[in-house]
Structure 1
């Protein structure tokens, strides 16, 4: 059954597929802190999902003129005129308020709300305008993307400067950059136009691939570091196997080229993160 056109446009505007993964990362952080399954964990996940969807909606508004210039983005709701700017602003506000209310209801601590507000400002106020000026915008963008599991950790009662908090932040920070680079490689013809600054204009595809292997190696190492947390041997084995499999897939996959290959690696990267979060969460809860 097809969804109504207006609803589909609203969902596309908010980038709900990516936001779902972001919500799961907050759930992951909560599970690591609380070590149990509770309503608070899922309320936190929904809160971060709504906040991320609000940020995605405002990002779509901010970049609507730029989106018309790229093949990858020109069919988004605002460039195509499937939805209006005024309604989009309304949607962003509703999603933000809903997300904040969810987070406020689950924690008496002000810190998760403050970090959530900081993430919104960093994404829409710093990263989005900055990426039209410099390739270095990828780093504040990665910081912003690493905050959701940290917020989940705080909402679950975790200490702000704990080792686990650093692991959570590092995991999502390191995942963000190859996630963006795969989009860059898959849609290389768009970014070679130099409409906005890109790594293509500085390094080229071959150098980006070399950087990729180093970065994925760091991500795999952080994944394996999660084995120091309480868990059974089976969980530890699966965590190590997942990290090594990710590194192996990218090491062999980047020898090829073309949109299909990069799309496959994109799926591998996302699945590996999701699998890691599920396995570590289960191990922490049952240990």
Structure 2
């Protein structure tokens, strides 16, 4: 009877292996052979040594606790993350037969497990999602989102002079202010959704951005049909005038217009008022 119960439990546990995000949880009934297997055997959720961001998240959660600086040195998450990852990787692999097993277990239990993700910054690191940082990032975020009313309202709540009409050189600082503020908020609801939409490091070029949205540049043999499709939508008058086309060279002029915008090399914000035009004129659905 006891044997049957044990077999049933073992079968259930074997089917209960779970891997989520940067952490690994595994319930089983086998005797642990090293620190990692002991922790998961106890139902603990162990940080994944194959990922990077989770260790930055642990730093943010733990760096003010007693003993952390003695465990691993460094003054910021970028510096400490890789060191913490290596230290915990070593601890988690210590064999149950090793004389250092118990001390390694205690250290790993304290510093190598999933922390409570209490801020959006921790959540970003946990997901290996990068916050915007440089001036170009914030300028690009501004030009990509300035037509979104909720974005303008959100930034304006922190900087009351912010509008969609201001120059990108001014807007970048306003957007940065809002994103820096949101980092410390609880990672849930609209705050988390908006932070991901408006503060994640954006693509630097329009080619890269459009690729992420499911579009590709018009192919070399596709300009004629693409020009015809665009022309049919507005009778061709404004398009032809804007690209300097005459009756017979529309596709050539359209290609020249797109090539001149350097969509694969220049920052998105350099397009200014041509951004929306470039999205339509220079790309097709994949």
Per the normalisation by structure 2, the TM-score is 0.23
Structure with more of its chain in helix, by fraction: 1
Bigger RCO of structures 1 and 2 (CA < 8 A, at least 6 apart): 1
| Rg larger for | 2
**Structure in which a larger fraction of residues adopt strand:** 2
